[in-house]
Amino acid sequence: MSDLVDLANEQAERLACIDLARRAPAGPEPTGFCLNCATPMAPGRRWCGVDCRDDWQRFDAQLRKMGL
């Protein structure tokens, strides 16, 4: 019986590792400035608003598509 439990645990661990590998990257680290327009930001924030975030993400996606 413990063999089945061990196998199930191993399978669950493999699936968890696969899920972690498929997760999207967390993104860039906050710098103290908006990553799009360079406005000074509170600690821990990356963009000053939704528009800057969306612009930055579009630009980043274009760079990734070009392989940069």
Specify the pTM. Answer: 0.59
pLDDT reported for residue 13: 92
Find out whether 53 and 41 touch, Cβ atoms under 8 Å.
Answer: no
pLDDT at 21: 78
For residue 67, the model assigns a pLDDT of 87
- Domain extents in the chain: 2-65
**Nearest C-alpha neighbor of 47 from the set 29, 63, 22:** 29
CA 5, distance to chain mean position in Å, is: 33
pLDDT at 63: 93
Chunked in runs of 10, what are the mean pLDDT values of the chain (68 residues)?
A: 82 88 80 96 94 95 90
